[in-house]
Structure 1
Amino acid sequence: MSPKRAPSAPPELPGYDYVSLLGSGGFADVFLYQQQLPSRHVAVKVLLPDAVNRELIDNFRHEANVMAQLSTHPSIVTIYGAAVAPDGRPFLAMEYCSRPNLGVRYRRERFAVPEVLSLGVQIAGAVETAHRAGILHRDIKPANILVTAYNRPALTDFGIATSSGGTDDASGMSIPWSPPEAFLDPPRSSPASDVFSLAATLSTLLAGRTPFEMPGGSNTSVDLIDRIQRGELSPLARSDVPARLEAVLAAAMDPDPGRRHASAMAFGRALQQVEAEMALPVTPLDVLDDGLDAEEVAEEDGGATRIRGVVSIDPHAGEAPPSAMPAAVAAVPDATVRRPRPAAQAQAAAPGAPAAPAQPEQPRSRRRTAVGIAAGVAVLALGGGIAALALAGGGGAPPSANPSQTVAAPPLAQRPPAPIAVEGEVSGGTVTFTWTNAQPQEGDTFLYRYEPSVGDPTSSSTSAPQVVVDADPDGETCILVRLVRSDGRDSNDAEGCVDG
């Protein structure tokens, strides 16, 4: 909660009963309400009375449309509705995440490495989904990752997101987690910028402090910006963090965007590789993807799944570049810093209502528990969804886009072929599985998962087309194998089973 002001009075909303204050920010308060029908708790974000002007209302409408477009993703906070309160203040009604956000948690408890890896993969899927819709978040940090009642991380606060086709009318940053390009004049954003901020967030959870903060040293905003620009990471200083994980995070926070992971998907797959090497369950990487072949999917599940793509929106096409960053302050700000809008900048265009996003595919079943390696699954979308509710307000036609600020959705690369002829040979109490790589390339690796009928499942990686596992005591031993290219692209699972 901001210490600089008292919270505003909660508005009286038809169909909602006020419960309590949840938090306050620079431009809005968040309240807990009880929705009457359907009966549930909801978080309601309300603009401050003195912040109700055309610029912020346009930004608020933009946030509503972005979140409505993406919020069926399991790791993005769901938006239920958007409207204007009787007192004239716009508000968003969102999923209420009752558990403390990660910004609160990292300051008071130590995160285990498996939890950080798992939530990193899940949020990477959310960020990749946004990027494929042409949307950059631009303010990923621990406080913007909430935790649902089901203990699942959920990304929120798309208030300063940028859509493909233009720039927002104001740029924001949270300095400790911002990439070097955020401090340029004008600031620059790309998918690599969000990868940097996500990696900085994960590093914060592991270290209990921000990644460029030096214990015992000077950590003003000026100091942090200087270290960020030079890539001077503070060591994690944890013996339980694998060297491979530190290397993955360091690469994602390289000061040169071109040397970072090529996408949030590639970063998520790198985290999955660490999970596999640590013999942890590999966390699914959920991505809403409209680039899959419908006929191919129909062959796999009998046509029961219908694919729905993510539709891009363009609420602020053609805005002029944001102004330079404000002068650094003496203390390290955790809150998002917004830059002032240039006086000569054109007004933002009003966004249209986006098409409904999709819900993820249910996992396929097999003789025992259905388990996939999930080292980068593009989740298929079921039909249906919730239509976006736009805020009231007008707007003119959008001006022409500014090519220097346009962020295009990353291209969808073709998946490599799955391993073929996965066969097992029983020898005593073990089974040796071998398979064939139909189109071998340099740097190929294989992820495999073995789930015995008794005991814990095993997930790991190997560079050779062979693995030895203990024979399953129930008489049939099965594994799932997936090919992973050096660029992070992966194949479908191939299954092999042997009796005896």
Structure 2
Amino acid sequence: MSSRPPSRPPRLPGYEYEQLLGSGGFADVFLYRQFRPQRRVAIKVLLSNVLDESVRRLFDAEANVMAQMSTHPSIVTIHQAEVSDDHRPYIVMEYCPRPNYGLRFRKERITVAEALRVGVQIAGAVETAHRAGILHRDIKPANILVTDYNRPALTDFGISIATGQGDDIEDSQGMSIPWSPPEFFADPPRSDVRSDVFSLAATVYSLLAGQTPFERRGQRNTASDLIHRISSEPLHPLERPDVPAELNRLLSIAMAKEPIGRYDTALAFGRSLQQVELSLSLPVTQMDVLDDRASGTAHSAEDDELDMHTRIRKVATVDPDSAGTTGPGTKRRLDPYAGVAPALGSPAGPGRAPHPGGVDGAAVGAGAVESTMLRPASSALGSPSTAPPDPGPAGGEWQRAQKPSTPAWPFVLLAAVFVVVLGVGTSLGVRHFLVPEPDPIETTQINVATQKPKAPGEPTSIDLQLITEGEGTDPGMVRVAWEPPDSVTQDDYYQIRWKDMPEGYADEYGVWREAYGRNSITLPIPPQLPDPCIEVRTVNPSGLASAPVEECLSTD
């Protein structure tokens, strides 16, 4: 809820106002009763004092995008978009009476089964939006409503953009920092479908953790603190005993710092959640995605499987088992994320391992019964189809003739090998325990020059770019970038800190922060200090550091 007082609900023909549902930065949401057809609807109304034309364009774009997507069962339905008599644009939406996940995840313990189900269903909605060319860019628990049928529904496409515009984001207003990926805070900010994958995974993480992914209990959690942790600190695994290791692994993949390390699509992330459901013996949640095969893509065995599950209006149900089909001619799938998160081992669990020899337990059991039924009690073990002749006076000679004789030479050879091994072992034991080894002869190296390790080169072109300004004791954020030295190697890394911090600031701002494999970092600015200076130095694996290079930030 917003801290400002709500606006006056407009008088809308055909609707009767009931109550306020919520308030945001630019709009209020009211509950109305529609006369024809009779139903309760949620109406989002833009504030009358919003004169920013870009906000009005975003509001209109939200109505168009949600109307385009609202046939999906996990996206809130849009009924109408108009302008009221007092010139305020409004959107008439499906009313979801149950508490949204933004209210629930901090107040109650959400089960693993529910979090997986929500993740799979919203992954289908996000994948549908992506296939229509739309990035959501604000996926978070509060934007997942719950319908009368207890189904999650994604809403608030107010800051969505076309997928082709992800590298040219001019306005980041409205983005929710706790669930935003690191590339949102880059210079310039950027986004693609993998950015929505990060936010969706962060939402699933929040449902299970009861807090946002980079929030730290007992520590300061300002916007600048969260941006720093999102950009540089690793994701802490969920410590709930009911969260399996494979779920922690897929969340770390989906929330990798670099987009290239994440799942390529929301569909791939949803399939991974379905595989966790399978491993936990939970009912597999169906994932609804846009069926775009009419565009001329080649058919495959998986497409044929999807034909059996087609729903309405070109929406197809994705079956998780279709991704793991095996049979003659199929190849073993490699793990494309082994470099992001370590593999967990063989997926085969107890009771699933195939029987040696390639036959299942039922076949072995049937074969054993058949052999027992056909084999006479007095016969030797052999083929079940071999039966002795009718015993007569010479029956004993026949059985003796059929009994195989065992040669003696294997036993003689085994005994000889045992004697040799015993003799060699005894000799080695006596030498080791009873005969002392001679002292090594001391030698001295002559005329060998010892070369002192060389320190790495200094970084160059230190650049400080102000991201946010601090207010009072709340620090701002600055992006520090530099150019690596000519002699840098892939094992070298960098250390960055604020120089000459006074007492009380040294422990937080004056410590060295490390950057591996990159030449930029985002840091909080020490508040209320005039023109603070940054130090950057190069460090090699042996611990030798270059001289620090200094650059000061002007606070004018």
Common fold by TM > 0.5:
yes
Residue number in structure 1 paired with 2:253: 251
Secondary structure of 2:234's aligned partner: coil
Q: Is 1:69 aligned with 2:14?
A: no
Report how far residue 217 of structure 1 moved.
1.9
Distance 1:252 1:165, change over 3 A: closer
CA contact (8 A) 2:144 2:155 kept: yes
1:187-198 matches, cutoff 5 A: 187-198=189-200
Distance 1:228 1:294, change over 3 A: closer
1:443-484 residue CA offsets vs partner (Å, 9 max, x unmatched): 49xxxxxxxxxxxxxx9997979897999xxxxxxxxxxxxx
Q: Distance in 1 between matches of 2:350 and 2:193?
A: 29
Q: Distance in 1 between matches of 2:151 and 2:361?
A: 32
1:410-429 matches, cutoff 5 A: 419=326
Report how far residue 139 of structure 1 moved.
0.5
Stretch deviating more after TM superposition (159-168 or 47-56): 159-168
Residue type of the alignment partner of 1:7 = P
Distance 1:186 1:217, change over 3 A: same
1:27-81 residue CA offsets vs partner (Å, 9 max, x unmatched): 0000001111111111000000101442222111110111011111111111111
Stretch deviating more after TM superposition (14-23 or 286-295): 286-295
Residue number in structure 1 paired with 2:171: 170
CA contact (8 A) 1:126 1:287 kept: yes
Residue number in structure 2 paired with 1:105: 104
Distance 1:10 1:278, change over 3 A: same
Stretch deviating more after TM superposition (33-42 or 226-235): 226-235
CA contact (8 A) 1:21 1:30 kept: yes
CA contact (8 A) 1:35 1:41 kept: yes
CA contact (8 A) 2:19 2:30 kept: yes
Q: Distance in 2 between matches of 1:106 and 1:86?
A: 39
Count of paired positions: 341
Distance 1:295 1:21, change over 3 A: same
CA contact (8 A) 1:64 1:92 kept: yes
1:444-459 matches, cutoff 5 A: none
Q: Distance in 1 between matches of 2:328 and 2:51?
A: 60
TM-score by length of 1: 0.63
Higher relative contact order (CA closer than 8 Å, sequence separation 6+): 1
Larger Rg: 2
Residue number in structure 2 paired with 1:122: 121
Residue number in structure 2 paired with 1:495: none
Secondary structure of 1:115's aligned partner: helix
Residue number in structure 2 paired with 1:341: none
Residue number in structure 1 paired with 2:181: 179
Residue type of the alignment partner of 1:439 = T
1:358-388 residue CA offsets vs partner (Å, 9 max, x unmatched): 3646x8xxxxxxxxx82188xxxxxxxxxxx
Q: Distance in 2 between matches of 1:376 and 1:24?
A: 43
Residue number in structure 2 paired with 1:375: 320
1:212-249 residue CA offsets vs partner (Å, 9 max, x unmatched): 11122222222211111114223422111001101111
1:79-94 matches, cutoff 5 A: 79-94=78-93
Q: Distance in 2 between matches of 1:461 and 1:125?
A: 32
Secondary structure of 1:224's aligned partner: helix
1:97-246 matches, cutoff 5 A: 97-166=96-165, 170-172=171-173, 173-246=175-248
Q: Distance in 2 between matches of 1:133 and 1:461?
A: 43
CA contact (8 A) 2:354 2:360 kept: no
Secondary structure of 2:270's aligned partner: helix
**Match 1:270 to one of 269, 272, 292:** 272
Distance 1:94 1:112, change over 3 A: same
TM-score by length of 2: 0.56
Report how far residue 251 of structure 1 moved.
1.1
Q: Distance in 1 between matches of 2:314 and 2:76?
A: 13
CA contact (8 A) 2:163 2:193 kept: no
Flag the structure with higher helix content.
Answer: 2
Residue number in structure 2 paired with 1:13: 12
Secondary structure of 2:49's aligned partner: helix
Q: Distance in 2 between matches of 1:442 and 1:119?
A: 27
Aligned-pair identity (%): 55
Q: Distance in 2 between matches of 1:161 and 1:199?
A: 18
CA contact (8 A) 2:78 2:94 kept: yes
